[in-house]
Amino acid sequence: MPTPSNPLKAVRGTRDLLPPETALWNRVESIARSVFSRYGFGEIRTPIFEDTQLFARGVGEETDIVSKEMYTWSDGERFDEAALIDAWTVQGEAEKRFTQVGGPFTEPFRRMGVQKLVTLRDPAKLDCPVFVCFRQSVTREVVDLLRKASDFFRTDAALGQFSDIIYLRKFAIHLRVVVPSGAKRPAWIETDGIEIEEVSGEFFRSSQSLTLRPENTAGVVRAYIEHKLGDSGQLQKLFYIGPQFRRERPQRGRYRQFWQIGVEVLGPVTSGSESPLRDAEVLEMLATLLDELGVKNWQLALNSVGSATDRPRYVAALKAALAPIKHQLCEDNQRRAETNPLRVLDSKDPNDQALIETLPRIADFLDDSSRDHFAQVRAALDACGVPYTVNPRLVRGLDYYTRTTFEFTVPSSGDPASGLGTQNALLGGGRYDGLSEMLGGPRAPGIGFAIGEDRLILTLQAQAGAPGLASETWETKLDAYIAPMGTERNAAALALARELRRAGLSVEVGDGTFRLKKSFEAADRVARHIVILGEDELASGILTLKTFATGLQTKIARNELAQSLRA
Ligand code: HAM
């Protein structure tokens, strides 16, 4: 039990976002929304949990995300008591054979999940009435309750209340718990007086494996397929802002619940979804967004991982090159060399870097069309003046990527200005031309990215003074603080606040118990002006207004106050 010295805390890897920092989050999101709308994007909101298969198929079983980091549970598994009753009785006989037992034990049984406690009308060959209770498993609670019930029914208290059991006094009562075969039967159980009957069959309504989304691209493509968004023939330009979940080792910039701001551009080939222009436009938009947010020194790393046909050739070459050297790699990389050799390339293990450098490069395995596509992306970026470097090892940790992949980073781990520690990827993305088909949909090439919003905020805070996001612009002060002098003025203060707030001003109301000095201190912390509301002020309608920035104190008519505060 939590105690005052040991209160409950937010779960490891999750955190609360509090004001005034949330104002910065809102500011970032509103700049993102503004940029996205200028590029013709509309918002999509997909569910926070999805069928586990979506990620297994979309992101890839062998990726770290799917194999180690997902929050997955089995949902909807329900014990089907009616099925157990049916299996235990002759088909359709149930109603004929049972009498529902009422009385004081109905409710406690029901609370334990026992829906039906019955007596047999015709206790067959047994020479005593039988109480039957249907359970998913045998627990101490059930056994205790059955014992209590049998004691109860054996006493005179029961007589007269239950016509069925008037004769019970003369007999022993037979108690029986009917459970599905294989049901939990704990070691402590003493079955004397209680018969446990096992019935085999399917008594659990089928369950579904669900997962908290570790990323949003698969969900967006699922929604694209489900709502037949491709049928319009138009390019779909969608953005999202929301939490994602990965069970990673928490550290600065890496959380188990984190936020992403992302976009996906996809559609049928005829909508131009495959065009390198789309890749360049998305990257150029990102550059604009980061500039408008005031992120300094961002770097764009770019690569092409080739088409669905290039990749298998490259993966085969990589496997062949890894075979003779893999025993020299770390344990994780040895496993990856077998299961998903591309993942070796983005390994961060310092001891393996020299060997990784010797591995074949994807650039040498691109077919003509992939090479041409990549060249056109770069040419369009050059034309827009968006700087980038090509990083031939950038393969990214999700399996759906084809052709263009990219990451934006801020200066590396050693530089405290990045604010990210070792987690310096601010955002990542790429093209996923085969994802829709992998999820059972029509051909719908696409490209997108997701910004780690937590990392973006850390970066902005570390790079304090970023234009447009200096702390004074998000930690804005209220227009006025109304200080009632004495509790008798509280109501009038609230009425004045209502007037000003309805006139569009931001206002805080103090409390009449505060001394004048305390009111001034409180007001100075949160507002640009203080309005004093004392007996004289209320009587005369002439209020005292002080502006903290100038120290100026003036008298002002109540009906001019809103105007003056606005000015
Ligand atoms: P991702 O690279 O897995 O890509 O994640 C994108 C960004 O989310 C990362 O660059 C990072 O900033 C942030 N991020 C990831 N994990 C964490 C974490 N545990 N804590 C804090 N931030 C984190 C994707 O998710 C793809 N869906 C991106 C995409 C969209 N590709 C195409 N379209």
User: Could you read off the pLDDT of 499-551 as tens digits, one per residue?
Assistant: 999 999 999 999 999 999 999 999 999 999 999 999 999 999 999 999 999 99
CA of 206 to the centre of ligand 1 (A): 33
CA of 454 to the centre of ligand 1 (A): 11
Q: What is the pLDDT of residues 214-266, one digit of tens each?
A: 999 999 999 999 999 999 999 999 999 999 999 999 999 999 999 999 999 99
Q: What is the pLDDT of residues 357-403, one digit of tens each?
A: 999 999 999 999 999 999 999 999 999 999 999 998 898 888 899 99
HEC-encoded secondary structure of 372-406: HHHHHHHHHHHHHCCCCEECCCCCCCCCCCEEEEE
Q: Sign (positive/negative) of CA torsion 487, 493, 495, 498?
A: negative
Percentage of the chain lying above the pLDDT 90 cut: 62
CA of 437 to the centre of ligand 1 (A): 22
Q: Is the CB of 448 under 6 A from ligand 1?
A: yes
Q: Is the CB of 314 under 6 A from ligand 1?
A: no
Q: What is the pLDDT of residues 290-336, one digit of tens each?
A: 999 999 999 999 999 999 889 889 999 999 999 999 999 999 899 88
CA of 319 to the centre of ligand 1 (A): 27
Q: Contact 523/483 with Cβ under 8 angstroms?
A: yes
CA of 244 to the centre of ligand 1 (A): 9
Cis omega (within 30 of 0) on the bond before 7?
no
Nearest to 253 by CA among 467, 418, 415, 405: 418
Position 123 scores a pLDDT of 47
Position 475 scores a pLDDT of 64
Q: Is the CB of 146 under 6 A from ligand 1?
A: no
Nearest to 193 by CA among 174, 171, 165: 174
Q: For residue 108, what is the enclosing H or E element?
A: helix 106-111
Q: Whose CA is nearest to atom 23 of ligand 1?
A: 452
Tell me the mean pLDDT in the region 415-428: 68
Ligand 1, atom nearest to 456 Cα: 12
Q: Whose CA is nearest to atom 2 of ligand 1?
A: 428
